[in-house]
Each structure stands twice: as C-alpha cells, then as structure tokens.
Chains A and B, each alone.
Chain A
Amino acid sequence: MSADNGLTTGKVATTNGTEPASPTRSAKAAGAVANWADDRLGLAKATKGMSLRKVFPDHWSFMLGEIALWSFVVLLLTGVFLTLFFDPSMTEVQYQGSYDPLRGVHMSRAFASALEISFDVRGGLLMRQMHHWAAMIFIGAMMIHLMRVFLTGAFRKPREVNWIIGCLLLLLGTIEGFTGYSLPDDLLSGTGMRAADGFMKASPVVGTYMSFFLFGGEFPGDQVIPRLYSMHILLIPGILLALITAHLILVVYHKHTQWPGPGKTEDNVVGPPLMPIYMAKAGGFFFIVFGMVALLGGLFTLNPVWKFGPYDPSKVTAGSQPDWYMGWPDGLLRIIPAWETHLWGHTVSWNIMLPILIMPPLMLMVLIALPFIEAWVTGDKREHHLLQRPRNAPTRTAVMAALVTFYGLAWAAGGNDIIAIKMHLSINQITYFMRAAVFIGPVIAFIIARRWCISLQRHDEGKLLHGYETGVIVRSPDGGYAEKHLPISETSAYVLTARDRDEVWTPNGTADEAGVAAPGGKLAEVAGKVRGKLSEAMFADNVQKPTAEELHEGQHHAEHELHELEGQIAAGPNKHGSSNDH
C-alpha cells in the first residue's frame, strides 16, 4: 500500500498476537460509561440472562412475528405524527379548508382535522395512509405468525403462556384497529359506529345501558370520538406495548425454537448470535417493513375520507365494510337467517348476538384453549424446543386447516356484495351457499388436510426406506421396466427421522386388579375414556418413523440395488454400442 499508510501503522496495531492488546482510548471511554451506568442502574445484573450473544435460529418463518413487531413500530411513529394534527372533537364546524367539494359543509372538528391532515398538512395524507396500511399489516402478520406457531408445534410446553399473550395481542390489535377506523368521523366510520351501537343494543338487558354509557346518550351524541381517542392513543397501545414486551421477554427466556437438524437438540439452540448478525438482519428487516408500508401509503388509496364526507346518520354508502380483520364476524352477520325471539315484549336478536357477541369471543376462547386441549389429548407433558413439520402432526394441521377455512368463508361472506357485482352473481345465492359452506367447508378441509399430511408422511417413509427416485429406468432381462431408487443423503435422513414416535394416551389405572376405582369416580372414568378415544383418533393412520433395523435393512437393500444397477449398466447394451442395434 502507499507510504502514508506506514506512518499510521504504529497507532492502529495494539497487538501482534503474542502480547495482549492494550485497550484503546474509545474502548476505555465506553467501559467508563458502562461502569458509571452499571453502578447506578444495576444493568449488568438485570440483563445477566439476556446476553448479546443470545442465539437466534435462522428460518424465514421465524420472521413473521417480526413483520408484526416492525409494523407496530411504524404505527407508533406515524401515529405520533397524526396526533399532532388530529382534533378529536365532535364540535360542529363549517369546513373552510382546501378541498373544494366539501367547503362550507358542516362537520365535526374531528372530520375537519382529518381533511386538514389529508390536504393541508405536508405529508399528512401519506402518514394517514401509512398508519392505516401498517394497521392492516400488523394484524395480518400476527395471524400468519400465529399459524406458523401452531402448525410447527411451537406453542407446546413451555410456551403456552406466550401463546395466550399472542392471542390477547390479536384481540387488542383488532380493537385498536376498530377504534382507529372510527376516529375520522367520516361516513364509513360513522356507519361502523352505528353498527357497533346496534351490536351493543343487541345484548339482552344491559344493551341500551352500554350504548348510552359509551355514546354519552343516544347515538351518535357528542362524546364518543374523544372517548375512543383516549382508548386509541393511550390505553390500548399501552397494553399492547406491555404485552409485546412480555411476549419478547418470554421468547428470550424460553429461547427460540428451532428446526431439527444435525447438531440441533432439545437442549441447545443453533444459529447466529443476536449481536451483530441477527441485530443487523432484524434492523434491516425493519427498514424493509417500513419501506413496504411507505410504498403502500404512497401508491394506494386507503379510506378516502374526503369522498365519504362527514358522518350523518341519514346517509349510507354501498360497499360499507369494516377493515379486513373485522370482516369475518361481519360476514357471519350477513349470512345468518333472521332469528329473533320475542319474550314479554322484548326482542332477543339471535341474528346479531350469535355472529357478533358470541362467535368472536368463542373463537378467541378456542384459540387460547388449543395448546391445552392438545396437551390433554396427547398426555404430553415434556418440554419441546424442536419444531415439528406440519405433516408430522396431521390432526393438528387439519384443525388449523378447518379453522382457516371457516375464517376464510366467513370473511368472504363479509364481501358478498363486492363478490356479487364483480362476478355477476346473485347476492342471495352467495348467502345460501355460505350458510352451508361455513359448516361443510371446514369438515372437508379437515379431512383433506389430514390425509394430505399422512400421504406426505408415507412419502417421507418411502424416501427413508427405499431412497429417492433417480429417474433412471431399467429394463430387466424379461422386459419389465423399473425405476431405480438411491439412498438419500445422511443430512436429509436426519431431518426426516428427527421426530418422536406418537404415543397414544391410554386410560390405564382407572381401576386396579381388585376392582377398586381410581380416585375421581365415574366422571373421571368417562373423561378418561373420551380422552383415550380422542388420543387414538388423533394419531390414527399416522406413519411412524422407521426403526433402526428397518432403516438398516433399507440401506442394505439400497446398496444391493445400486450394485445391481451398476452391474446392469456394465453389462448393458450401451457397452456394445446400442445405437445401431435394433
């Protein structure tokens, strides 16, 4: 290199490898700062368990939760910007801003400031749209993250509590989204509030009270926007932030799950350390998420409030839908028959209670209970840090397929009018179809997904025992054709065999030899029988991994095949130039 480089050599190198390095000035300073902070804050002790060398395994499906995390950060950033200009007041004003078609129209200050953000604040419309897009992505990412966790068995002991926290995050995210949707006080959000008012009033006995408490009187009143605003920018984000923190602390505490592979066990975690590699990747991924949200916000219109105009209970528009994550209860509401009961002069609206007040909480309960139901059925009390491939838990995968199918059908029903006009269908026919499909669809999905998984298991077993298909077709001396199989690599074989055999839970010991019933009595016995049957059904038809002997035999067979093949090739017609041998 150049001469001036030689001048600085002495300053750069503090060690030649045989003598210890002397700390540089900056390292000394950093150490001093760290000491100063540690003496006063006790950071070293508090973060003892959270080493920066913490290992985080690498797999694309482990990044799905991160999409949710980073879109939440985008929500916080853009949300703070919006609070600077949004005025959550229902005081009536006459609009005098720069959007011509609404100038002179009477509206709430909330809507006027939403217009101001859209048209008069620099970058305001971009921020509004980014905030809204980020919200849609936040909840979507939580859902695909949830599916990943469920399908790979990452919810099993010791991670059940984190599963519950995740479910609560999904619930809170949805409520947060709904309050945000309602804030601008445009025609669409007002229609949504009107629907929410109806839902509340559908609850027996307390319905009207709830509605009057929320709206501070009869709908729409002049209270609800400021109240939702407090919830939207303070209460719910606060809880979300706390739960996200708890969620992440538990990830660190439990350590991340990993896919099975050579050198990966239930007792270790293999992957790059948090610092610097994972930090760099995760930090980079934040910018990707931010960039995607910015692109969406800049390119695609989301909730054009200026076209909806201010809310007015006498107005409504076709295509009034909630944001996508509220679409599935809306869909159930759209397809349910008009069931009502009249009791002593009161109407019990089952047609609203079932889809809106009963189904969503019920689905949340089912979601929260899933890990516990599975643990009860399998009787599995061990800790699990190695993930399962979805095919190796066919019944679990099928349960998720059924849930997703139900969700998807209900969700599609929520867009029935758009489907009708875009596909030239009758909205009535869609409704009739969906009424049956939400019941039949999940059953079909369950059966197909389960059998599909078992078929894939059989395929894996075939690969282990008979090797992979080479594509080499051999004709035997008597004229038969056969494809030759060769053994798979040891790494692939390891991945395929790195799983437990399924153990069916049996209700043993309910009565001892002398006929004395186990404690718990009749009920426990029945429960035990049900549990045994369920456990049997859960694992029925699953393909278990081959035993060592079977594998050995398979290998032996494969070697034999290989020799045979080589022999055949050696003795084959190619040896004698088959091209002109007809």
Chain B
Amino acid sequence: MRLLNRSAGRLSRHRRGPLAGLAVLLLGLLMTGGLYAAFAPAQADSTQSQEDLVKEGRELFLVGCAFCHGQNGEGVLTQDGSQYGPALTDVGAAAVDFQVGTGRMPMAQPGVQVPRKEVVYTDDEIDALAAYVASLGTGPSVPDAELYDPDTLSEEEYDDYVTRGGQIFLANCTACHNFEGSGGAMPRGGFAPNIRGVDPKHIYEAMLTGPQSMDTFSDGNIPPDDKKAVIAYLDTLNEQPNYGGFTLGSLGPVSEGMIAWLIGIGGLVGFAIWGAAQTTRTTEKKDGADA
C-alpha cells in the first residue's frame, strides 16, 4: 500500500499534464493485467485442461450415465412419463461430486431411494464428470475446503460455530435426520440417511444441492458460514464422548424401551427364577433324603 501511495505522490507532480490521466489509466490497466497474469498463471493452460476435462468427462458420461440421463444430459423419460434419469443440465458440479462421490451414482437398480454404496469412480474421474455436467448449464460448483472444513476454524471460533450450528441443525435437519444424525424414515420406503461420519464436503454439497427427497438449502436460506457451523456441530458429535454410556443406536425412546424390556425386565425375571430356586427347603430335603 505504501508503495502505491508513494507512486501516486510522484504522479501527482505531473498531474496537470494533459496525458497524466491517460498515463494513470494505462498504468492501472497494465497493473491489473500484469497482476492477473501473475496470480492466475494457468489461465491459458487451464482453459485447455478444462476443455480436456470436459471431454474426458463426456467420454465417461456416455459410458456410465447416458443410458438414463441421455447423451447430452437431457434426461430420459419412460413411456408413462416418469423419468429413468432426470435432466442434468442445471444441477452443477457439486451435485455430481456428491452423487458420484458418495457412490450413489451410478445406481445399481432403480428404487424408491438410491442408497450410499462403494464409490465406483476415482477422484479424477469424478472431477471430469463434474466438469462435463457443469458445462451443460448453470448450478453450484464444488465448494472449496475453507467453506466446509471445520478444521480451518480457530479454537474460539470453533466453539461459537458449534453452538450456532447445533441450533441450526435442530431447526432444519433433525426433523428428518434425527437429533444425532442417525437417520429417519420418509414416506413409501424413503429414508433420511445416517449422516454421522460423512465427509464434510459431501454434507455441504448435500445442503447446497438437495439430493433426492432432501430440501435444497441454498446460500440464501442457510449462508455458507452457517452450513459450516452445522458441519462443525456434527464434528463435535463425533468427537465428544458418550457421556451416558452406550448410545443404543441414538434412535430415541424405541431402542431405550427395548433395552428396558430385554435387559431390565428380562434380567430381573431371570433373577426372580434364580432366587425362587434357592430355597432353604431344597437343601434340607437333600440332607434329609440321604439320611
């Protein structure tokens, strides 16, 4: 800054010169261009590699995705008007990164809901697919790590984020995903999956893109910072000890009731049977019978 001020001071001496304004403008343009060139050095290369990436993604897409999503990602309709695969023209790279990165796509079979499974593509292939689909239209891009990674927070920030994130989580997420993110039921065989231990990037992308029956929590709805807070809260749930003992799947009162009956009542009835078998009478009889 000081350097700029100094040069500005030097320029001011020639200020009255008729070409001074033009000189400043030229200098400014030169600096902007130079700085841009300096800080974005791969511009020319990246255009090239981006094109390659899209091309590579298209190849992969035609093999693995086009059967349901159409050769240009336009979607395929069945005869009765429902979809084999929806159009992907405006879903963006984040949606691809989530769906393919969690193994949901390519799906093994049509069904009520696509379950998470083993990831089929490598990270590079996922990037290529995402680049291709992103090239088909608009849509959110894959977020940078600083948007979602709770490790980038300082310690004081982290506590604030966790507290705030917990409240956002309870207001927006627990209705389907349960108070600990252990998941819940949705109509007709659908389900809100267990979200504990899911990669923060994928949680962020899920909120951003609203996969399957999930709502889309756009940045206007839950700002990026709040999304990060939710992820920080989930991170705390993973980190914190189980204060009360075994969590019984963190499913609420149903599993608690099961333990009360199976272990509590079952165990005590067992003890009652054991206790009733320990009579003074039986030992007396044994002694007496032999005599």
B partners with A:
yes
Set of chain A residues within 8 Å of B233, measured between Cβ atoms: 101
What count of chain A residues pass the 8 Å CB interface test? Answer: 74
What is the CA–CA distance of A318 and B176 in the complex, to the nearest angstrom?
Answer: 5
Asked if B244 and A129 sit within 8 Å, CB to CB, the answer is yes
Closest to B274 in A: A60
A288 and B268 contact, Cβ closer than 8 Å, known pairs A103-B159, A309-B167, A415-B254: yes
* B191 cross-chain contacts in A, Cβ below 8 A: 420-421
Cβ of B276 to closest chain A Cβ, rounded Å = 4
| Residue B18 lies at the interface, judged by CB distance under 8 Å to chain A | no
Q: Is the CB of A187 within 8 A of B170?
A: yes
B46 at the interface (CB under 8 A from A): no
**Which B265-289 residues have C-beta < 8 A from chain A?**
265, 267-269, 271-273, 275-281
Distance from B153 Cβ to chain A, minimum over Cβ atoms (Å)? 14
- For A317, what are the chain B residues with a Cβ–Cβ distance below 8 Å? 170, 174-175, 178-179, 252
What total of A-B pairs shows CB separation below 8 Å?
211
Quick one: given A318-B184, A321-B252, are A60 and B276 in contact (CB under 8 Å)? Answer: yes
Q: Is the interface of A mostly helix, strand, loop or mixed?
A: helix
Asked if A279 is at the interface (CB within 8 A of a chain B CB), the reply is no
The 0/1 profile, CB within 8 Å of A marked 1, for residues 167-181 of chain B is 100110011111110
**Are the CB atoms of A315 and B276 closer together than 8 Å?**
no
Q: Which residue of A lies closest to B272 (CB)?
A: A63
Task: Give the size category of B's interface with A.
Answer: 35 or more
User: Are A144 and B265 in touch, CB under 8 angstroms?
Assistant: yes
User: Closest CB-CB distance, B225 to chain A, in whole Å?
Assistant: 17
In the complex, the answer to whether B163 meets A318 with C-beta atoms within 8 Å is no
Task: Say if the beta carbon of B42 comes within 8 Å of chain A.
Answer: no
A100 to B175, CA, bound (A): 23
Asked if B101 is an interface residue, CB under 8 A from chain A, the answer is no
Provide the bound-state CA to CA distance between A64 and B246, in Å. 27
Most buried by B among A66, A308, A420: A420
A537 lies within 8 A of chain B by Cβ: no
User: Who on chain A is nearest to B177 by CB?
Assistant: A318
Task: Tell me how far the C-beta of A238 lies from the nearest C-beta in chain B, rounded to whole angstroms.
Answer: 25
State whether the Cβ of A140 lies closer than 8 Å to any Cβ in chain B. yes
Report whether B170 and A312 are in contact in the complex, using a CB–CB cutoff of 8 Å.
yes
A289 interface residue (CB < 8 Å to B): yes
The one of B185, B243, B268 in contact with A304, judged by C-beta atoms closer than 8 angstroms, is: B243
Nearest to A305 among chain B residues (CB) is B244
Q: A292-B268, A300-B244, A317-B175 are in contact. Are A133 and B260 (CB under 8 A)?
A: yes
Q: In the bound complex, do residue B170 and residue A315 qualify as a contact, i.e. CB atoms below 8 Å apart?
A: yes
Is B256 a contact partner of A281 (Cβ separation < 8 A)?
A: no
Residues in chain B near residue A64, CB distance under 8 A: 269, 272
Q: Is there an interface contact between A319 and B268, defined as CB atoms closer than 8 Å?
A: no
Interface string of A291-329 (1 = CB under 8 A from B): 011001011111110111100101111111111100100
Apart from A317-B178, A324-B254, list 20 A-B contacts with CB within 8 A: A66-B272, A101-B236, A125-B243, A136-B260, A288-B275, A292-B267, A296-B263, A301-B242, A301-B245, A302-B244, A312-B171, A318-B174, A318-B192, A319-B182, A319-B251, A319-B252, A323-B253, A427-B187, A428-B189, A429-B189
